[in-house]
């Protein structure tokens, strides 16, 4: 299992030398921009970096109970290799094209089957809850993975504040729609805005996290600023980014990739090495940053969180409800 109880010396095992410093990452971007300006690299559709918001440090405590003991990927890995189709379909597009996106001020609308609803500033939405860091594995359906030190608050703690009624069986999420700032939304790759959903017991599970940062600072635009979802036993496309609306519903809500290609992307999207994508196997995965010629590693059931979440699906046919 990937989730282990804290072990002596755990925090010491992740050495500063294993992490790409943010200054190095930013210097690399400046060098790339200089090369583009000089004509030595082909210029792409990069957006002005001068408008990219500064990343603020966050106060948090490490939650070792829900952290894997694997070494996190570097900051550069995490922030330059992304799926975020609102900024483009290539893995480098989100970092290149998200400079004009403005993640503040930010509000989230709470609606549906709950006693308390309304529109809340992000600060007010999260204010009652202390931030914590959890090192989760992110497994993407394209058979690659990363290990990321997310900072956020338990989703269930936030949702409970709004007192969902007994009619609330699911939780629906919606991303922001700003094609003037998100160039990928100008193309019908998906039906915009992006939407996702969880069953209420999945949303309330203590592993589910509303993420506001990584590596101890606020989320970069390309990683879903300022608020995204992380349910680490599910494939990455369930981790909806730049959330502006949360609704408690009685019926199963729509999910963007399930709407686009239902035979390939199920609503549940639980990591399951025994259920292949129609066009490739999900039995093994490639860890980003490990090198192109490194052996792929076996994919683990529920992404390694089987002990914590398998009971949520007891009695279900996981090939049917994929």
- pLDDT, tens digit, 9 for 90 and up, residues 285-304: 999 988 766 678 999 999 99
- The rounded distance, in Å, linking the Cα atoms of 306 and 106 is 35
Whether 262 and 248 have beta carbons less than 8 Å apart is answered as: no
Write the CA distances from 191 to 76, 97, 241, 247, integer angstroms. Answer: 30, 20, 15, 19
Q: What is the pLDDT of residues 69-125, one digit of tens each?
A: 999 999 999 999 999 999 999 999 999 999 999 999 999 999 999 999 999 999 999
The separation between CA 77 and the C-alpha centre of its own chain, rounded to angstroms, equals: 14
Omega within 30 of 0 (cis) for the link into 226: yes
Residues forming a β-bridge with 171: 198, 248
This prediction has a pTM of: 0.84
State what percent of residues in the chain have pLDDT above 70: 83
Smallest CA-to-CA distance from 153 within 45, 21, 243, 259 is with 243
Q: How many whole angstroms separate alpha carbon 216 and alpha carbon 158?
A: 20
Domains of the chain: 18-134+151-258 (3.90.420.10)
DSSP conformation class of 301: G
**CB distance 225 to 295 below 8 Å:** no
Lowest mean pLDDT among 48-57, 62-71, 311-320: 48-57
Give Cβ neighbours of residue 109 (< 8 Å, ≥ 6 apart). 118, 119, 120, 244, 245, 246
pLDDT recorded at residue 293 = 64
- Rounded CA separation 238/212 (Å): 16
Burial class (CB in 10 A: 0-12, 13-18, 19+), 13: exposed
């Amino acid at each position: 299992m990937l989730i282990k109880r804290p072990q002596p010396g755990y925090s010491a095992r992740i050495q500063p030398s294993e992490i790409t410093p943010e200054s190095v990452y930013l210097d690399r971007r400046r060098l790339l921009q200089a090369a583009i300006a000089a004509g030595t690299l082909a210029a792409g559709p990069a957006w002005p970096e001068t408008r990219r918001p500064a990343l603020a440090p966050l106060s948090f405590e490490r939650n070792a109970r829900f952290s894997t003991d694997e070494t996190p990927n570097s900051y550069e890995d995490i922030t330059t290799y992304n799926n975020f189709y609102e900024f483009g379909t290539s893995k480098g597009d989100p970092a290149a094209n998200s400079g004009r996106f403005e993640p503040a001020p930010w509000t989230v609308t709470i609606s549906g089957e709950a006693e308390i609803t309304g529109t809340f500033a992000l600060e007010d939405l999260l204010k009652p809850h202390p931030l914590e860091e959890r090192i989760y594995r992110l497994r993407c359906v394209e058979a690659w993975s990363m290990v990321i030190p997310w900072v956020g608050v338990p989703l269930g703690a936030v949702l409970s504040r709004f007192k969902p009624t007994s009619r609330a069986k699911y939780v629906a999420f919606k991303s922001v729609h700003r094609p003037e700032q998100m160039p990928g939304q100008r193309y019908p790759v998906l039906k915009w805005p992006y939407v996702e959903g969880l069953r209420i017991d999945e949303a309330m599970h203590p592993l589910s996290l509303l993420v506001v940062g990584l590596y101890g600072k606020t989320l970069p635009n390309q990683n879903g600023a300022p608020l995204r979802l992380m349910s680490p036993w599910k494939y990455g496309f369930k981790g909806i980014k730049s959330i502006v609306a949360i609704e408690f519903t009685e019926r199963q809500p729509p999910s963007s990739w399930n709407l686009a290609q239902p035979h390939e992307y199920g609503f549940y999207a639980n990591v399951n090495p025994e259920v292949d994508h129609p066009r490739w196997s999900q039995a093994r995965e490639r860890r980003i940053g490990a090198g192109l010629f490194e052996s792929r590693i076996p994919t683990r059931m529920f992404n390694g969180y089987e002990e914590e979440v398998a009971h949520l699906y007891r009695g279900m046919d996981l090939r049917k409800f994929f």
